[in-house]
Amino acid sequence: MADTTQFDLVSPERRLASAQVVSVQIPGADGDMTAMAGHAPTITTLRPGLLTAEGPDGTTQYVVTGGFAEITATGVSVLAERAMPRDEVSADVHAELVKEAEEAHAKAKEVFVNEPGPVDDAAKLLADMVAVGDHIGL
Amino acid sequence: MPSLKDLKNRIESVKSTRKITKAMQMVAAAKLRRAQEAAEQSRPYTERFNAVMAGLAASVGGSDSAPKLLSGTGSDQVQLLIVMTSERGLCGGFNSNIAKLARTHATKLMAEGKEVKILTVGKKGRDQMKRDYGQYYIGHVDLTEVKRIGYTDAQSIAKDVLGRFDAGEFDVATLFYSKFVNVVSQIPTAQQIIPASFEAEEGDEASTLFDYEPSEEAILADLLPRGVATQIFAGLLENGASEQGARMSAMDNATRNAGEMIDKLTIEFNRSRQAVITNELIEIISGAEAL
């Protein structure tokens, strides 16, 4: 039996999960990372993606859209701007998320004409958002 | 002396008023519970967020490269007041108290020679602030259609505010809302959100050395705008709970007053009815004696 660690997933509107888990796979801004008990204290920002928590009683997956994760000696807290259990993300919900990202991208292109930075960020956000759909098989 | 008919009508009308205020009180009580739950649900997020931000701000804040949202623009000449009130009235002094605090604040700033701009959220505050400070009024966020306040509402307000900040429209932003203590007490509060100030919590948090991915600065730059949204969201929720609390106690008072009025009117009604009867008796008796 592997060691477990405390895992909390909160969004501004509700607390989605609080449980003992074996590992949490976090979609970090610089790439996915898996946190287990005894992980070095880390703070990372999230990209839109799939968060997988593997507990003793099975695996749960959540779709998160951004925010950050804090890994400490006592546990993993994920503060997601928007988080939903995977089952709740239907094609409609996903389409809406993609549309929002598209709008943000279009707006960034308009506002920052000669600055590639924000436009690229928005493009990445959009690509990530689309990739989420592929991941959960919509 | 009003006639019996008049009194009866008045009693009926006060009774129906009491029914309405009673119903409003019960609706407010139900809504208050929901609003309190919503506020409770958001608390873990806000608390964790602020703790992390405090840590980050402490380590990056001192450097020159710190984001403007944290260190400020270096001036406090133009002040933005974000006044958050309710969309509906009939909630006692709730809206007036917030507006009063904002007004005192604005007057003080103006006396110091600062420039004031006012952004309102909620119809009731707009009416009050526009009357006195029409020329400083720069915008309004309408939440009339919103049944249940969500994070997206806060985000859109934050986006508006941040857009104005990036455009250099103001240097300091202060949020006005009412903190919910309990049903009978809500405290109007002013909270500065730009430049951000985080209360550092003493404890083991600060001493932990974190790895940051990407860099500390990048995380801070990413999180600060979210912080504004989070604080606005927390303010909106507190305000929602306060509004329902204030309405509940205001309606409770109104119901009680209506009850007292009904009692008073009923006594008056009975007295006049008795007077009429006595009068008739006197007439009959004196008529009989005259025979």
Please list the pLDDT of chain A residue by residue as tens digits (138 residues).
568 899 999 988 888 889 999 999 999 888 889 998 888 889 899 988 889 999 888 889 898 988 889 898 888 999 998 888 888 888 888 888 888 888 888 887 777 777 777 777 778 888 888 887 777 766
Question: Cβ separation of A42 and B233 shorter than 8 Å?
Answer: no
Look at residue A9 in the predicted model and tell me its pLDDT.
92
Listed by number, the residues of chain A in 60-89 with a beta carbon closer than 8 Å to a beta carbon of chain B are 67-68, 70, 72-73, 77, 79, 81-82
Determine contact: A19 vs chain B, CB below 8 A: no
Q: What secondary structure letter does DSSP report for A59?
A: E
Look at residue B64 in the predicted model and tell me its pLDDT.
62
Chains A & B: contacts with CB separation below 8 Å: 75
Q: Which chain B residues are Cβ-neighbours of A46 within 8 angstroms?
A: none
B91 part of the active site = yes
Q: How would DSSP label each residue in B234-274?
A: HHHHHHHHHHHHHHHHHHHHHHHHHHHHHHHHHHHHHHHHH
Look at residue B141 in the predicted model and tell me its pLDDT.
85
Question: Cβ separation of A45 and B41 shorter than 8 Å?
Answer: no
Q: What is chain B's length?
A: 291
Q: How would DSSP label each residue in chain B?
A: ---HHHHHHHHHHHHHHHHHHHHHHHHHHHHHHHHHHHHHHHHHHHHHHHHHHHHHHHHHTTSTT--HHHH--S--SEEEEEEE--SS--STTHHHHHHHHHHHHHHHHHHTT-EEEEEEESHHHHHHHHHHHGGGEEEEE--TT-SS--HHHHHHHHHHHHHHHHTTS-SEEEEEEEEEEETTEEEEEEEEEES---PPPPSHHHHSPPEEES-HHHHHHHHHHHHHHHHHHHHHHHHHHHHHHHHHHHHHHHHHHHHHHHHHHHHHHHHHHHHHHHHHHHHHHHHHHH-
How far, in Å, CA of B150 to CA of A101, rounded? 19
Alpha carbon separation from A7 to A28, A69, A82, B205 (Å, rounded): 16, 10, 17, 17
Please list the pLDDT of chain B residue by residue as tens digits (291 residues).
688 999 999 999 999 999 999 999 999 999 999 999 988 888 888 888 888 888 777 777 666 666 778 777 778 889 999 999 998 888 888 999 999 999 999 999 999 988 899 999 988 888 888 888 888 888 888 887 777 888 888 888 998 898 888 888 889 999 999 999 888 889 999 988 888 877 655 444 455 678 888 888 888 888 888 888 988 999 999 999 999 999 999 999 999 999 999 999 999 999 999 999 999 999 999 999 998
Using the CB atoms, write b or e for A42-61: b if 16+ within 10 Å: bbbbbbbbbbbbbbeeeebb
Question: Cβ separation of A70 and B42 shorter than 8 Å?
Answer: no
Question: Cβ separation of A10 and B45 shorter than 8 Å?
Answer: yes
Angle between helices B216-290 and B4-60 (to 10 degrees): 170
Please state the domain extents for chain B: 34-248
Write out pLDDT tens, residues B205-247: 455 678 888 888 888 888 888 888 988 999 999 999 999 999 9
Residue with tokens 């959220």: B121
Look at residue B204 in the predicted model and tell me its pLDDT.
46
Determine contact: B206 vs chain A, CB below 8 A: no
Determine contact: A56 vs chain B, CB below 8 A: no
**Nearest partner of B63 among B221, B246, B267, B193, judged by Cα:** B221
Look at residue B13 in the predicted model and tell me its pLDDT.
96
Find the helix or strand (DSSP H, E) in which A133 lies. helix A116-135
Domain B34-248 grouped into CATH 3.40.1380.10: yes
| Collapsed DSSP state (helix, strand, coil) of residue A124 | helix
Write out pLDDT tens, residues B113-134: 888 999 999 888 888 888 888 8
Residue of chain A with shortest Cα separation from B215: A44
Determine contact: B38 vs chain A, CB below 8 A: yes
Residue of chain B with shortest Cα separation from A31: B213
Beta bridge partners of B183: none
- In a mutagenesis test of the A interface, which of B37, B210, B220 is the best target, namely the one with the most A β-carbons within 10 Å? B210
How far, in Å, CA of B211 to CA of B82, rounded? 36
Instruction: Determine if the peptide bond prior to B195 is cis (ω within 30°).
Output: yes
